[in-house]
A and B are shown apart, each in its own frame.
Chain A
Amino acid sequence: MNNKVAIRRLASGVPGLDEILGGGLPEYSFNLIVGPPGSGKTTMAHQIMFALATRERPALFITVLGEPPLKMLRYQQQFSFFDVDKINDSIRFVNLSDDVSMGNFDQVLARITQEVEAFSPALVFVDSFRSVMLEAQNQPGSALSLQQFIQQLGIQLSGCQATTFLIGEYSSGSDPHPVLTVADGLLSLEQSVQRNSMVRRMQVLKMRGQATVPGMHTFRISNNGINIFSAAQVRDDTGDASELPASPRSNVRLSMGVPGLDEMLGGGLPSGYSMLVAGPSGSGKTILATAFLVEGVRLGEPGIIVAFEQTPSQSWIRTIDDMVRAGCIGLINTRSLDLSTDEIVQHLVQLIHEMKATRVVIDSLSGFELALAPNFREDFRESLFRMVAVLAGLGVTVLLTSELEDRYTDLRFSPYGSAFLTDAIIVQRYIEIGSRLKRVMAVVKVRGSTHSDEIRQFEIIDGEVIIGDPVLEYEGLLGGQPKQTTASDTVD
């Protein structure tokens, strides 16, 4: 029974789209791209068209009312995928606004069929079908409904061996219009604005015969066109056994680059672990993280820093900048306020593969949360969980810093309830001794390993963390007001 039809899948040319579609666009499928104005429908259609059109596989782009074609050509040219040489060679534009304004939709259908027959395209785009129908409603004589129009178009084009895309404005309400069931594939684009950030998302509502990736996928439109950040990647990386390194949790321990800290951790940070460094502002989290990366570079282990801090300290700039410039450390520095976690993760994973990085620093979670679009902040814990899972799946060792308000009434390690996500925790605090603010640090947890339980004083001298002696003669350090114990005992 090998005579079943084999559906070829075309690579869409939109980064991330093929994964979501479950392997690409099925050949000869009849697809709708819908979404409100400005959501990127025409851009997506053009990107697909310019990627797929060749002399052997010509494309026909039919414009119907909607935006004036002059404007479309003017603005679409700004994208890098717009290849002028393909026009009139493998891509043909046909404008049918005259036929539509005449009000005869049978004739519009006939014109489309006629053009398709004349040019024998392998790809047909109609932009946009909604404008056809709006016009139809204004023409009392027209007997054709939206459903009939699309249905007829679908039938006529299905016999032409063409992969077809209908582009239309369609407000994504709760119940989809029955006409949408006619299509083999249905891509819905949307954009939402919350406070100062705008987030674009898309979903595949339907793609016949393919296992699509459900859910909303964020995308961005840049000079290169649309780039979709598939949420699938997170699952793939963790779920696919072949992606996992042979032994992510080996017995190898990484040196932290701070004298004395490795001993506190029971011999260094186990490879593949994630560590949370929590502490109040200025306590030295970033400096600790920098030392971790610098030590990696010294040992030939490339690292990546994802920096969300708005004003990195001077020593940070010097050390990191030099190493980034030398290519030893990868830097993802972002100040935008409309990121999605998937976007960061995709970027990070890509860089990890490129640099073969084994150490990753995320500085800091507070900045990360701020950089996310408000829509995603609600899911911040889940996002963190997924990110840590992906990074663990890649076998890299991760150091996350987290700003912690100094509270002396309770012992907390992270404002996100995310402490359980990480394998190791170091907490830093300020204490008052002899009318001076001193820094202390303790290892709270190293999963599956013995570690020091001492609270050690430390200082930061010339951008380096110098760990001092255990604070033996005081108690109540975590309450912020230590009392001398041994010393006063001996006096008494």
Chain B
Amino acid sequence: MNLEMIRKTLVHGSGDFPDSSAIAEATLSTWHQVAVRLGPVIGSRGVEALFNRSLHITSKSYPWLAVDESGENFAFQFPDLRARIALREPVDAEEASHTLLVNFTELLATLIGESLTMRLLEPVWVAPAPESEQEKAS
């Protein structure tokens, strides 16, 4: 599975030489896109379950990502995630954000297959050609 577009999407969203809060912002906006695309298909509960699992897996390499076992609602985890990413060094923040999305995509692919995963998430990722420059501004 070609996961290069995940990094491209993040870089595209956060701009050149970003600070941590720009990375956090780009990560969040990508996650919102993922939720918008997947929610109708697998339900918001389904997205939530996959997100929590990927967070759990990713926090083994980036312990600071881990959430308290408070069972907080999905909707509240996003701002929390943004806050935690924004506190890290840019390199660390970018790697963790990238890894989290990669883990999520791979987890989804193990469940519903690569081709369907790509099919569903295709609109989220930045197209290979640099055509959506105006989106960058927003």
Contacts and interface: CB of A to CB of B under 8 A. Distances in A.
A73 B42 contact: yes
Interface stretch (B57-65, B92-100, B108-116): B108-116
A74 B43 contact: no
Contact of B41 (A84, A85, A95, A98): A95
B18 interface: no
Interface residues of B, number: 16
B116 A77 contact: yes
A326 interface: no
Contact of B111 (A70, A87, A92, A97): A70
B108 to A, nearest CB: 8
A74 B111 contact: yes
B119 A88 contact: yes
Contacts of A68: 42-43, 45-46
B40 A94 contact: yes
Interface in B37-55: 39-46, 50
B120 interface: yes
A439 to B, nearest CB: 60
A84 B43 CA distance: 19
Contact of A74 (B44, B112, B120): B112
B120 A95 contact: no
Contacts of A63: 43
Contacts of B42: 68-70, 73, 93, 95
B46 A84 contact: no
A84 B39 CA distance: 18
A93 B41 contact: yes
Contacts of B46: 68-70, 95
A68 B112 CA distance: 12
A73 B119 contact: no
Contact of B116 (A87, A94, A97, A98): A87
A427 B111 CA distance: 60
A380 to B, nearest CB: 44
A84 B44 contact: no
B116 A84 contact: yes
Contact of B112 (A77, A88, A97): A77
A87 B119 contact: yes
B112 A98 contact: no
Interface in B56-82: none
Interface residues of A, number: 17
Contacts of B39: 95
A384 to B, nearest CB: 45
Nearest to B122: A88
- In this complex, the member of A63, A85, A87, A95 whose beta carbon has the largest number of chain B beta carbons within 10 angstroms is A95
Contact of A73 (B44, B50, B112): B112
Contacts of A94: 40-41
A63 B46 CA distance: 12
B113 A77 contact: yes
A77 B46 CA distance: 18
Interface string A59-101: 0000100001110011001000000110110001111011000
A87 B112 contact: no
Nearest to A63: B43
Given A74-B112, A77-B113, A88 B43 contact: no
A247 to B, nearest CB: 55
- In this complex, the member of A63, A73, A77 whose beta carbon has the largest number of chain B beta carbons within 10 angstroms is A73
A488 B137 CA distance: 118
A63 B41 CA distance: 8
B36 to A, nearest CB: 12
Contacts of A92: 40
Contact of B40 (A74, A84, A95): A95
Nearest to B114: A84
A97 to B, nearest CB: 5
Contacts of A93: 40-42
B93 to A, nearest CB: 29
Interface string B95-138: 00000000000000001110110011000000000000000000
Given A87-B119, A87-B120, A95 B43 contact: yes
A73 B43 contact: no
Nearest to A69: B42
Given A68-B46, A88-B120, A95-B46, A73 B41 contact: yes
Nearest to A77: B113
A437 B42 CA distance: 72
Contacts of B44: 95, 98
Given A85-B119, A87-B119, A87-B120, A98 B45 contact: yes
Interface of A: 63, 68-70, 73-74, 77, 84-85, 87-88, 92-95, 97-98
State the 7 A-B residue pairs at the shortest beta-carbon distance, nearest first.
A95-B43, A93-B41, A84-B115, A69-B42, A73-B112, A97-B43, A70-B42
Given A88-B119, A95-B39, A95-B44, 6 more contacts: A68-B45, A84-B113, A84-B119, A93-B40, A97-B43, A98-B43
13 contacts: A68-B43, A69-B42, A69-B46, A70-B42, A70-B50, A70-B111, A73-B42, A77-B113, A88-B119, A93-B42, A95-B42, A98-B43, A98-B44
